[in-house]
Amino acid sequence: MKARKVTVVGSGIIGLTSAIALQEAGFDVRLFAKEKFDYTLSHKVGAVWFPYTIEPRKKVDRWAAVSYARYEKESEYAAGVSMISFLNAYKDLKDEEWVHQLPAGTVREATWDELPKGMKKGLIADVPLTEPPLYLPYLFEKFLNLGGTFELKTFNSLEEIASQDTLVVNCTGLGAKSLCKDEDLHPMRGQILRAEKLDIPSFADPTQKGALSYIIGRSGDSIIGGTDYDYDWNESEDRRDTELILERLKNFGIKNQPEILEIVVGLRPKRSTVRFEFDADFQNVFHNYGHGGAGFTVAWGCAMEVAETLSKNSL
């Protein structure tokens, strides 16, 4: 039987995982993108597993649980994937629905001596960490080894995307705003610091909007964040944000300023809900974008559902 063909547009984490999940489901996949994965937002981020600023909640929890299981398995062999202990601050436990998606015994309440200075309550869980500079090349190579083809290509409209002679999965992130004339999609600006590796447990405090704070310890460095400014299109470093991020470190009881290796700015693609559906006008196009600050967290869950949905549609 001749393999069914699909075109995926976008080479970030959503595009790459969608392409591979489709290949694993028996599709012949070609990948188009205006830039290679190492120039995408996905290459810039800290990429620890956590469902941050993303809806709809029930679907997100399911996608996140599927992704967790995939990463946990990949941590045994995939480049850049590991399981780490991660502390997350919270205000009200009833709002932390994500804890119910993890294996039993994975999450526990942090003790007082485990909480950074100024943090009142926190949960500690073993979660996946994916290091983009290692994991994205691994995924891209896997995609090619499975018979995929890649081409740099810029699309200027949804009509152009839909003109492909295959089913198409639109994974263009923030680029979908102009392609799809999507008024709901907007940037959530993030600025982070890549620093020398710190001897500090990884943690996040998302309890204050506009003051997202975290430290993610990776194999060779640490990521210190950050910002989460809605409707901010500035892709250049803001020195005031750098100062704010470093000042928050002091508030958490970290007195010595780390050596900063790089200052990174990226625009997260945020929507009121992830757009995950067939287009009403172009019925060969399936949209998979608008994952906010949780692209890595839900990528595999979305990808596997894309493959399942397209498999049913192409029978």
Nearest to 186 by CA among 265, 270, 267: 270
Q: What is the pLDDT of residue 212?
A: 81
Nearest to 82 by CA among 117, 129, 36, 126: 129
Q: What is the pLDDT of residue 3?
A: 61
The average pLDDT across 123-142 equals 96
pLDDT score of 153 more than 90: yes
Residue predicted with more confidence, 94 or 229 = 229
pLDDT score of 2 more than 60: no
pLDDT, tens digit, for every residue of 195-222? 999 988 999 998 877 678 899 999 999 9
The average pLDDT across 138-151 equals 98
pLDDT score of 54 more than 80: yes
pLDDT score of 60 more than 60: yes
For residue 107, give both structure tokens: 């999450």
Provide the angle, in degrees to the nearest 10, between the axes of the packed helices 13-24 and 132-145. 30
Q: What is the pLDDT of residue 92?
A: 86
Which top CATH class is 4-313? alpha beta
Q: What is the pLDDT of residue 314?
A: 64
Q: What is the SS3 assignment for the chain?
A: CCCEEEEEECCCHHHHHHHHHHHHCCEEEEEEECCCHHHCHHHCCCCECCCCCCCCHHHHHHHHHHHHHHHHHHCCCCCCEEEEEEEEECCCHHHCHHHHHCCCCCEEECCHHHCCCCCCCEEEEEEEEECHHHHHHHHHHHHHHCCCEEEECCCCCHHHHHCCCCEEEECCHHHHHHHCCCCCCEEEEEEEEEECCCCCCEEEECCCCCCCEEEEECCCCEEEECCCEECCCCCCCCHHHHHHHHHHHHHCCCCCCCCEEEEEEEEEEEEEEEEEEECCCCCCEEEEEEECCCHHHHHHHHHHHHHHHHHHHCC
pLDDT score of 109 more than 60: yes
**For the chain, what are the domain ranges?**
4-313
Distance from CA of residue 149 to its chain's centroid?
23
Lowest mean pLDDT among 8-22, 86-100, 107-121, 252-266: 86-100
The average pLDDT across 135-150 equals 98
The average pLDDT across 48-59 equals 85
Range from 97-111, 121-135, 194-208 that averages highest in pLDDT: 121-135
Confidence band (pLDDT; 50, 70, 90) for 256? confident
Confidence band (pLDDT; 50, 70, 90) for 251? confident
Q: What is the pLDDT of residue 1?
A: 36
pLDDT score of 301 more than 90: yes
The Cα 176–Cα 203 span in angstroms is 32
Q: Calculate the average pLDDT of the chain.
A: 93
Lowest mean pLDDT among 73-87, 185-199, 249-263, 293-307: 249-263
